[in-house]
Amino acid sequence: MPGPYQFFVTGILALACVVTPRAPAQSSPLSSGDDWPYYGHDAGGMRYSPLAQINRENVATLKVAWTFHVGDISDGSGHQKRSGLETTPILVNGTLYLTSAFNRVFALDPETGKQRWVYDPMTELAGDYGDGLINRGVAGWIDAARTEGKPCRTRIFETTLDARLIALDGATGEPCSDFGNHGQISLRDVARYIPGNYHMTSPPVVIDDVVVVGSSIDDNSRVDMPSGVVRAFDARTGALRWKWEPLPPNDATSAPQVQGRTWRTGAGNAWSVMVVDEVRDLVFVPTGSASPDYYGGLRPGDDKWADSVVALRGKTGEFVWGFQLVHHDLWDYDSGSPPLLATLQHDGKTLPVVIQGNKTGFLYVLNRDTGAPLFPVEERPVPQTDVPGEVTSPTQPFPLAPPAVVPQKLSAADAWGITPEDREVCRDRLKSLRNDGLFTPPSLQGTLSVPGNVGGMNWSGYAYDQQHSLLVVNTNNLPAKMGVIPRDKYWDTVDKNTEDAEYTEQAGGPYGLFRTFLFAKAHHLPCAPPPWGTLTAVDMAKGTIRWQVPLGSLSPDNPAIPLGAPSLGGPIVTASGLVFIAGTMIDPSLRAFDVESGKEIWKAQLPTSAGATPMTYQTRKGGKQFLVIAAGGHRSVTEEPQSDSIVAFALP
């Protein structure tokens, strides 16, 4: 799962439901090009729309067409975590479906934004959910075996924070009575299940008649976290069809001996968005880090298949191939970005590929059938640990192309500050840390991590413009300090916390964790040279960067602050050559860029920042093209106002 995104926090199971019914919507194919029927537009997650009504010439005239309020906000008081609004709506059969932070599912009229129905799963909101209260959306499926007008011919699937999979009738919002137990099944039947620590934040994915789910598992808290099992259920009945474990078993009777030690770990889970190739019957699964994130002495070896992208057979769950992006992860460098399926021209051939990035800033381009890299990947020696009991991987995989899309090193001489005093503070902080470049392992003294644990690339992912062979990706440039603390000194150190670091016990192991992003204290700006957030276009045919520009600002009204803000919430691309993206922290804007040049050509103010990915659609031929974004504020940025707004733009 993603580590806690605490950039500026200190400075800058009930079964009841509530349903409002409506008449069934008109039917249209799930894969209509004018719709947005999947989280990433198509089953392979390209986030490319063939619509071109909104173009370079008229985008500046976009106006708000409607705004819908989901009504679910938690400020983190009481027993609830703070909420964020990360949903990306989907459009299926002429209805817009989206979720709130509280797991309520809404069906809206896509032209007016008026509510058609709402379903409340009555999620337990007081759980210890590490990511706070968030949900990124739903999946849709049309049962071709069920005749038009029958209940649950169109099904909407949601996974909840309290670990349930729910199937709803897309026309009415009623639970599908033939699915599981009155429309839902429990997902808690996993090894080492811990309430709250094991939950769901991303939408499931459907292939043929199977719905596949991963899980979000809290980082850092324990050695033996819950299993990161990926499971598939019959889309009609809810019966378990298959399951796949990313890591070897970890229990008293079957835990393997590795390098003379009993294997103890968990997670390696698929917390981000999965994609599918229906023709090949393949599900592509991005996996996270094994537990605990920053000490691997009890999980020696590469920890396959954590920190990987894996292809599984849709019908059976059979492992087809895997590619590991990080061996024996000690940096929280999980594969948070969704895989993206595209077709590339390479060496005179047309090849189907999987594009997979991670928090390191590397992009890996893999043959979709075999997992073999299209561009060469070298196993290079990396810095080794000095922590007793740790066993670092001797090498890591470095792609020779494309180049990394973020900086991967930072020296004390490169320290940045908006004033000489700030720069000196940053220089001193950097000098105190172990800093041997990318993959410098955690240490007792403190290690510099560049990129930090937010990336690089995160769940925001990327969009692909097949016309121009351009992959568009937003990235973060936030250096971090991290390290481990011996168990006998841990609580003493926590009590004496003087730099607002995040401390986590990593219970069951010999070391606790500390980490914090590196800011100058006076103005609380990052110690790395700006920009601190960028938008990049990568030429995937050549494996080169076409353009890279700052994205947003940490102080939009202050021109003295350099451009570039960290972001969570990715881009989309349209056939008219436009890139749309929000996502920037502190900066409450939705922007349009020219895909060929990177020039910003439009910007609109939102109610607050939008930690989500937009989508676009046209409901009928000759009708308006709408652009929709969820604007709720970033869950971890307490300086941002919260909102519950779904905002739709259209031409006048």
* Cβ–Cβ under 8 Å, residues 135 and 100: yes
The DSSP H or E segment spanning 470 is strand 470-476
The strands making up 205-207's β-sheet, listed across from edge to edge, are: 205-207, 210-213, 230-234, 240-244
Dihedral of CA 385/389/395/396: which sign?
A: negative
> What CA–CA distance (Å, rounded) separates 618 from 215?
33
* Cβ–Cβ under 8 Å, residues 516 and 504: no
Please give the sequence-ordered ranges of beta strands (E in DSSP) within 480-631, or none if there are none. 480-486, 502-504, 511-517, 533-539, 544-550, 572-574, 578-581, 589-594, 600-605, 615-618, 625-631
CA distances from 464 to 42, 65, 344, 355, 596 (A): 11, 27, 11, 10, 12
Q: Is 162 an annotated catalytic residue?
A: no
Nearest C-alpha neighbor of 47 from the set 339, 278, 307: 339
Helices (H), 17-57: none
* Cβ–Cβ under 8 Å, residues 646 and 630: yes
Nearest C-alpha neighbor of 610 from the set 547, 563, 568, 548: 568
Tokens of 410: 């930072």
**What is the three-state SS of 178-202?**
CCCCCCEEECCCCCCCCECCEECCC
> What CA–CA distance (Å, rounded) separates 342 from 44?
8
> What CA–CA distance (Å, rounded) separates 418 from 524?
10
Which of 303, 332, 334, 587 is catalytic? The answer is 332
Tokens of 293: 């994130």
> What CA–CA distance (Å, rounded) separates 456 from 20?
42
Secondary structure letter of residue 75 according to DSSP = B
User: Residue 114 in 3-state DSSP?
Assistant: coil
- State the amino acid at position 17 in one-letter form: C
- State the amino acid at position 644 in one-letter form: D
> What CA–CA distance (Å, rounded) separates 213 from 434?
39
Tokens of 348: 């005179």
Strand partners, 91: 36, 96
Q: In degrees, to the nearest 5, what angle opens at C-alpha 31 toward C-alphas 26 and 36?
A: 80
> What CA–CA distance (Å, rounded) separates 234 from 219?
30
- State the amino acid at position 14 in one-letter form: A
* Cβ–Cβ under 8 Å, residues 619 and 95: no
Active site positions, annotated? 332
